């Protein structure tokens, strides 16, 4: 199985649905700042992994494509969250010695590479791993 | 729980400041209410834009197992850490990133809960996904305590 980019998929989503995601993402980001302000960066850091996109995505995918596709979306997010840990590790090691753009750029690249690699292992080749993850 | 090490950390532009100082300036009186509101507004706009961008990008991909990867994209993290670099420097950002690694384990628990909830036809998905935030919260608080006890955080 190979991932396919279909820009037409953007048309399924209504403008107000993008608005909901914008508002929610903005609130979570502002909330993360408040938590870090009030309780320090240790607790504020946890907020950086708050599920900001997933709840709205699941709900919208269920409405547009059905429940089975929403299950698949949540399965993908499981792998994405593992890759997010690699993003954090990369920033943790590079933040004090690299320029901000380089540190965040490298971490984002690491997230993409790890997420895609995990997806390829889990779902790319109809492997035994994919069979286990799908049941 | 705040535990800042009073050590000297190298910053990006050749500066050297106490890691404690960055945190104290943030909690200090230099942030006036008006400045704080403006900052929150900026965080809202930046976070909203990045989250929307990742969400729109996810819409374009098929199959949904692949699109779902973007449900755990570092959207809030990019906005917050970029501002963290600007306001507090690399040492502060490194602390946030370490905590974020543990937070991503809580996100894994949340995603796993969402898989189970999405399979349960009797439960409205919107309600279930919102209720699953408690899974994230419990996991995050547990990991935070664990991190504090073991000295990881």
Domain extents in chain A: 13-65, 71-135
Nearest by CB to A85, from B40, B101, B136: name it.
B101
Q: Which residues of A touch B65 (CB under 8 A)?
A: 72-73, 75-76, 79, 119, 122-123
Which pTM was predicted?
0.84
Chain B residue with the nearest C-alpha to that of A7: B60
The 10s digit of each residue's pLDDT in A89-130 is 999 999 999 999 999 999 999 999 999 999 999 998 766 666
Report chain A's mean pLDDT, rounded to a whole number: 91
CA distance A45 to B103: 7
Q: Which residues of B touch A83 (CB under 8 A)?
A: 69, 72
Chain B residue with the nearest C-alpha to that of A36: B96
Q: Which two tokens stand for residue A21?
A: 């995601």
> Going by C-beta distance under 8 Å and a sequence separation of 6 or more, which residues neighbour residue B145?
none
pLDDT of residue B18: 40
Look at residue A40 and tell me whether its pLDDT is greater than 50. yes
pLDDT of residue B133: 94
Q: Which residues of A touch B101 (CB under 8 A)?
A: 85, 88-89, 92
Q: Which residues of B touch A78 (CB under 8 A)?
A: 68, 72, 108, 111-112, 115
Q: What percentage of residues in chain A have a pLDDT greater than 90?
A: 66
Q: Which string of DSSP letters, residue by residue, matches chain A?
A: ---EE-GGGGGGS-HHHHHHHHHHHHHHHHHHHHHHHHH-HHHHHHHTTS--SHHHHHHHHHHHH-HHHHHHHHHHHHHHHHHHHHHHHHHHHHTTTS-HHHHHHHHHHHHHHHHHHHHIIIIIT--HHHHHHT-
Look at residue B27 and tell me whether its pLDDT is greater than 60. no
Question: To probe the interface with A, which of B111, B120, B147 has the most A CB atoms within 10 Å?
Answer: B111
- Please report, for residues A5, A112, B67, B68, B140, the alpha-carbon distance to residue B60 in angstroms, rounded to integers and kept in the order given: 5, 16, 8, 11, 31
Q: What is the ipTM of this complex?
A: 0.91
Span A55-76, average pLDDT: 92
pLDDT of residue B15: 43
> Cβ A91–B93 below 8 Å, yes or no?
yes
Span B25-35, average pLDDT: 48
Q: pLDDT tier at B36 (50, 70, 90 boundaries)?
A: confident
Nearest by CB to B133, from A51, A84, A85: name it.
A51
Q: Which two tokens stand for residue A68?
A: 């089975």
Q: Which residues of A touch B125 (CB under 8 A)?
A: 58-59, 62, 67, 70
Span B59-76, average pLDDT: 94
Nearest by CB to A41, from B61, B99, B117: name it.
B99
pLDDT of residue B56: 92
Residue position matching structure tokens 């998905």: B125
Q: pLDDT tier at A1 (50, 70, 90 boundaries)?
A: confident
Report chain B's mean pLDDT, rounded to a whole number: 82
CA distance B139 to B36: 30
The 10s digit of each residue's pLDDT in B97-111 is 999 999 999 999 999
Q: Which residues of A touch B114 (CB under 8 A)?
A: 54-55, 58, 74, 77
Q: pLDDT tier at A133 (50, 70, 90 boundaries)?
A: low
Look at residue A61 and tell me whether its pLDDT is greater than 50. yes
Beta bridge partner(s), residue B10: B16
* Nearest-neighbour CA in chain A from B23: distance (Å): 8
Chain B residue with the nearest C-alpha to that of A25: B48
Q: pLDDT tier at A9 (50, 70, 90 boundaries)?
A: confident
Chain A residue with the nearest C-alpha to that of B36: A34
Look at residue B20 and tell me whether its pLDDT is greater than 60. no
> Going by C-beta distance under 8 Å and a sequence separation of 6 or more, which residues neighbour residue A95?
A103, B81, B85, B90, B91, B93, B94, B97
């Amino acid at each position: 199985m190979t991932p396919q980019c279909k820009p037409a998929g953007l048309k399924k989503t209504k403008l107000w649905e993008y608005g909901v995601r914008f508002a929610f993402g903005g609130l979570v980001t502002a909330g993360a700042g408040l938590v870090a302000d009030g309780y320090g960066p240790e607790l504020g850091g946890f907020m950086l992994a708050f599920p900001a996109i997933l709840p709205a995505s699941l709900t919208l995918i269920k409405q547009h494509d059905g429940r089975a596709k929403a299950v698949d979306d949540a399965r993908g997010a499981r792998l994405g969250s593992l890759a997010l840990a690699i993003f954090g590790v990369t920033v943790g090691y590079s933040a004090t010695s690299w320029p901000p753009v380089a540190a965040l750029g490298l971490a984002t690249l690491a997230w993409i590479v790890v997420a895609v690699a995990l997806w390829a292992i889990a779902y790319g080749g109809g492997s035994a791993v994919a069979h286990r993850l799908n049941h | 729980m705040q535990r800042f090490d009073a050590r000297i950390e190298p910053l990006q532009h050749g500066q050297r400041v106490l890691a404690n100082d960055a945190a104290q300036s943030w909690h200090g009186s230099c942030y006036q209410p008006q400045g704080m509101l403006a900052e929150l507004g900026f965080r809202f706009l930046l976070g909203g834009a990045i989250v929307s961008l990742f969400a729109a990008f996810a819409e374009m991909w098929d199959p949904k197992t692949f699109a779902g990867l973007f449900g755990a994209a570092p959207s809030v993290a990019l906005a917050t850490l970029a501002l963290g670099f600007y306001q507090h420097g690399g040492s502060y950002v490194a602390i946030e990133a370490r905590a974020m690694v543990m937070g991503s384990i809580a996100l894994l628990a949340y995603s796993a809960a969402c898989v189970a909830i999405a399979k349960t036809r009797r439960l409205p998905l919107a309600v279930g996904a919102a209720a699953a935030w408690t899974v994230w919260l419990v996991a995050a608080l547990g990991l935070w305590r664990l991190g504090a006890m073991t000295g990881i955080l």
